[in-house]
Amino acid sequence: MAGKGGAAPSTYSPSPTTQKTKSRIFGNDDVDWVRSDGREFHQCRPAFFKTGAVNAAAGSAYAEFGNTKVIVSVFGPRESKKAMMYSDIGRLNCNVSYTTFATPVRGQGSDHKEFSSMLHKALEGAIILETFPKTTVDVFALVLESGGSDLPVVISCASLALADAGIMMYDLVTSVSVSGLGKNLVIDPILEEESYQDGSLMLTCMPSRYEVTQLTITGEWSTPKINEGMQICLDACSKLAVVMRACLKGPDSTLEE
């Protein structure tokens, strides 16, 4: 994020200007600061989903949460590579990549190598792999623009793309993260809030089954705070699932939360 010197964006990058020189906008004890996009602490950004974004794919979805824009295509099931051992359940192959212009500094998205395996772990529990033995399903996610909470958006969008591809799943997978800023928890943090966060909690769940498929916590947390964070996330996840379901059902699916 050192690129604040080059004021005129040379490439297509409508991302918010970086905040290097800005002082910390919220102190530890300051309870009443306003989030820079005017949301309340426990208010998510409006979510937009659209299925069928890519023609060539078996299923695809596009998601837009504020400035975070993600496209996910699902290919397959296809025959597993010869080198793979025989398996009576299907395989899931996930890959998350960033466009070079996704981040405020060009090409910074390659810092997130772990996202592919995290996407895999978040999804594998929800997919009924027994329904496509000996074959592989590819899930390719591309972050077009990184605006914070990238991985949760990728996970939710990927599950929508899988549903669009007709891959059998137990339930849709939704994911939401909260950031700990001082004493407060803010849901669905934007890039700026993520860079200041003291800790983060990302929860991925299957809302109708009320099961957590993935949980990642960084930073120092006390147990009551984890409890609170998980409740906020679970609540938001179930609301997100309603939006996603409406998108799958509706013929012209432009729904906003």
Partner 1 sequence: MVGLSIGEKHFIQGGIAQDLRSDGRKRLTTRPIYVETGVISQANGSARVRMGATDVIASVKAELGRPNALQPDKGKVVVNVDCSPTAAPMFEGRGGEELSAELSVALQCCLLGGKSGSGAGIDLSSLVVVEGKICWDLYIDGLVVSSDGNLLDALGAAIKAALSNTGIPKVNVAAGASGDEQPEVDVSDEEFLQFDTSRVPVIVTLTKVGRHYIVDATSEEESQMSSAVSISINRQGHICGLTKRGGAGLDPSIILDMISVAKTVSEQLINTLDSHIAAAEAGEEES
Which residues contact partner 1 by CB under 8 A?
A: 1-2, 20, 113-114, 117, 121, 124-126, 180, 194-200, 205-206, 209-223, 226-227, 230, 234
Would you state the structure tokens that stand for residue 212, as one six-digit string? 């957590």
What is the sign of the dihedral through the CA atoms of 97, 205, 239 and 251? Answer: positive
State which residue, 36 or 216, has the beta carbon closest to partner 1.
Answer: 216
Instruction: Give min distance, CB of 241 to partner 1, in A.
Output: 14
Q: What is the number of other CB atoms lying within 10 angstroms of the CB of residue 21? A: 6
Instruction: Give min distance, CB of 203 to partner 1, in A.
Output: 8
Nearest-angstrom CA–CA distance, 139 and 95: 6
* Angle separating helix axes 115-124 and 150-164, nearest 10 degrees: 50
Instruction: Give min distance, CB of 76 to partner 1, in A.
Output: 18
Instruction: Give min distance, CB of 78 to partner 1, in A.
Output: 21
State which residue, 41 or 170, has the beta carbon closest to partner 1.
Answer: 170
State which residue, 66 or 189, has the beta carbon closest to partner 1.
Answer: 189
State which residue, 57 or 233, has the beta carbon closest to partner 1.
Answer: 233
Asked whether the beta carbons of 204 and 235 are under 8 A apart, the reply is no
Classified as helix, coil or strand, 108 is helix
State which residue, 61 or 205, has the beta carbon closest to partner 1.
Answer: 205
* Angle separating helix axes 150-164 and 223-249, nearest 10 degrees: 40
Among residues 138, 174, 143, the alpha carbon closest in space to that of 64 is found at: 143
Identify residue 256 by its one-letter amino acid code. E
Instruction: Give min distance, CB of 105 to partner 1, in A.
Output: 10
Nearest-angstrom CA–CA distance, 57 and 61: 10
Asked whether the beta carbons of 141 and 157 are under 8 A apart, the reply is yes
Sheet containing 174-181: order of strands: 184-187, 174-181, 199-206
Instruction: Give min distance, CB of 43 to partner 1, in A.
Output: 22
State which residue, 44 or 205, has the beta carbon closest to partner 1.
Answer: 205
Would you state the structure tokens that stand for residue 143, as one six-digit string? 């972050």
State which residue, 37 or 235, has the beta carbon closest to partner 1.
Answer: 235
Instruction: Give min distance, CB of 251 to partner 1, in A.
Output: 31
